[in-house]
Copies of this chain bind each other. A is one copy, B any other.
Amino acid sequence: MNSEFTIAVHSLVFLAYRPDRMATSEMIALNVNTHPSRVRKIMSCLRKQGFVRTKEGIGGGFIFNRSPDQVTLAEIYRATSIGSIKPAWCSGNEDEDCMVACNMAEVMDQVFSEAEQQLIAYFERITVADVLRRVQTAQQFKN
């Protein structure tokens, strides 16, 4: 799977964690450990889906636009990474004179698509607030 999902989740958790629910791409990038430009690209996608709003210019940044306990990982997955569990490579060959060769690509497509539904059903049960709580729990075990 695509790491954009990870970055999107991390960014939203970070925003949820901040008292003002706001941060610049530079702050997020430092926290996530990537380049601010990559953060902006992914946040731009989250903005188009209404997860965050942005403020340009001085004192600007990204602002969490919804309640962290209402946003599920399923929504984030759909926004950033839908289709990413299926490998790009496809087996089989339509021109072959064999039922298996001709139809495996289509059948595996179905299988991966159903598998992805299972994954999404699981992500449906986890919110950004849940992830933040898990982070807090993990932290407590260190102390």
Contact = CB atoms under 8 A, between A and B. Distances in A.
Contact of A33 (B9, B91, B121, B138): B91
Copies in the complex: 2
Interface string A1-34: 1110111011001100100000000000011111
A13 B135 contact: no
B2 A87 contact: yes
A136 to B, nearest CB: 7
B131 A6 contact: no
Given A6-B108, A99-B17, A91 B138 contact: no
Interface string A116-129: 00110111001000
A4 B60 CA distance: 46
